[in-house]
Amino acid sequence: MFFRLYKYSLLCSARERLFIFWNLIFPIILGSLFQIAFGSYTEKEVLFHKIPVAYVEEEGADENFAQLLKTLETDNDLVQVQTVEKDEAEQLLREEKVEGIFYNEAVKQTETEISLVVQEQDINQSILSSILEQYERTYATLLTIGKEYPQGIQAAAALVEEEIEYLEESSIGAASNNDMLNYFYSLIAMNCLMGTTTGLACAMKFKANLSALAARRVIAGVSRFRVLWPDLAANISLQFLYVVFSVCYLMFVLHVPIGDQWGFLLLTIFVGTLLGIFLGFFVGVAVRLPYNAKEALCILIMMVSCFFSGLMADGMQRLIDRYVPVFSHINPSSLIVKSFYSLNIYDTYGRYLENMGTMAILILILAVGSFVVVRRERYASI
């Protein structure tokens, strides 16, 4: 009986054109507009790519700097080096195919001079300048120690190695902290919470004073929960598929770097969908208002929740975290957004599990409250 009711409920819900537009098509349209608005900015200013650089080395120059660039290219993915002649390097810089040119020139028989030439001063050029400054300081320090305290040269080299390892181990994660992603995370959260309207529609099918279908279900000789479970499961499944399709569109069509941990991404989407469905269902069965008023209330809750997670204004979630942290810990949209951020930024899953646990508690409270109201609801006459 469960699977037959599940099938019919799934078919009925899939034919609701209004839900198809708002829960599937509208997030795709909004995501496309976000990509048009922020895509070029994100690509140029936020996401980090290997810095293309030209390297010109004269005969007799010190090869230590060339070895450093090779290490930064192969082990750290920081730069992309092209070893070329001087004329070709200048041509590449004029055509903006490289961000800068490193010149390694032999000044004296035992000394070399390394210089950097750039066309403009930007983040990438600052990184290249920092590489050169760090190398010159380290080289000068080791040279002085080698002349004055030759017995301590090995200890000094070991300290330099420890400093490099410390900086590598302090990384906050493999993914970049892209502030523009907050809009897309909030969009996915809104898509999950659009299930409130679906959950409300499901609740209306069990309000005998508001629906003829609900009246027939109430007077039927079958427990209302045996009919309720397949209906809820069908709506959850359909909303989950809508959100997954939207996320796939963002990732594979618009190339938004949402993340690569698919198992946890799907789990977050599923839990967020459950939260949206049960929030709408609770409003439907517990709030004594006409259907249109309940629908407006669900939309209001969804939009307010998404506003405070940063969908309309960047930085809003940080303000809420600072001044109203309690609300941030129970705001459904913020919990979904912070779950995505936790997967993308942190190497551990502590914060992710904390957010998911909070959502699970909210789902349990809404589900138990809804079922208690449904179980106790009685009608003197229909």
Task: Supply the pLDDT for residue 174.
Answer: 41
Instruction: Report the share of the chain in percent with pLDDT over 70.
Output: 84
Query: What beta strand segments (E) does the chain contain?
Result: 51-57, 79-83, 100-106, 112-117
Residues whose CB falls within 8 Å of the CB of residue 301, separated by 6 or more in sequence, listed in order: 193, 196, 279, 283
| Model confidence pLDDT, tens digit, residues 26-60 | 999 999 999 888 765 555 555 556 889 999 988 77
Q: Which amino acid is at 292?
A: N
The per-residue pLDDT for 212 is 75
pLDDT mean across residues, the chain: 84
Nearest by Cα to 158 from 181, 144, 142, 143: 142
Domain ranges, ordered by start, for the chain: 2-42+181-374, 49-171
Residue 132 burial by CB count (10 A; 0-12/13-18/19+): exposed, middle or buried?
middle
The tokens 């899939």 sit on which residue? Answer: 14
What is the CATH architecture of 49-171? 3-Layer(aba) Sandwich (3.40)
Amino acid at the residue 350: G
Tens digit of each residue's pLDDT (9 = 90 or more) over 6-18 = 998 899 889 999 9
Per the CB < 8 A criterion, the answer to whether 355 and 339 are in contact is: yes
pTM score, two decimals? 0.71
Average pLDDT of 340-356?
Answer: 90
pLDDT of 260: 85
Average pLDDT over residues 82-91: 91
- Lowest-pLDDT range of 23-37, 227-241, 365-379: 365-379
CB 186 within 8 A of CB 38: no
Q: What is the pLDDT of residue 352?
A: 95
Q: Is the per-residue pLDDT at 372 higher than 80? A: yes
How confident is the model at residue 180, as a pLDDT? 78
State the first-to-last Cα distance of the chain, in angstroms, to the nearest integer: 26
Residues 250, 255, 257: CA angle, nearest 5 degrees: 85
pLDDT above 90: residue 246: yes
Q: Which of 2-16, 65-79, 166-180, 294-308 has the lowest mean pLDDT?
A: 166-180
> Who has greater pLDDT, 218 or 115?
115
Give the residue from 237, 238, 250 showing the smallest Cα distance to 187.
250
pLDDT of residue 170: 43
Q: Give the separation between CA 186 and CA 273, rounded to whole angstroms.
A: 14
Round to whole Å and give the CA distance between 79 and 128: 9
For residues 367 and 207, the model is more confident at 367
DSSP 44: I
Sheet with 112-117: strands ordered across: 79-83, 51-57, 100-106, 112-117
Tell me what pLDDT residue 176 has: 46
pLDDT at 167 over 60: no
pLDDT-wise least confident of 160-174, 237-251, 281-295: 160-174
Tell me which residue of 264, 261, 262 sits closest to 352, measured CA to CA. 264
Model confidence at 171: pLDDT above 60 = no
pLDDT greater than 70 at residue 168 = no
pLDDT at 77 > cutoff 80: no
Mean pLDDT (whole number) for 143-167: 61
CA nearest to 181, candidates 367, 292, 310: 310
Section 307-316 average pLDDT? 89
SS3 308: coil
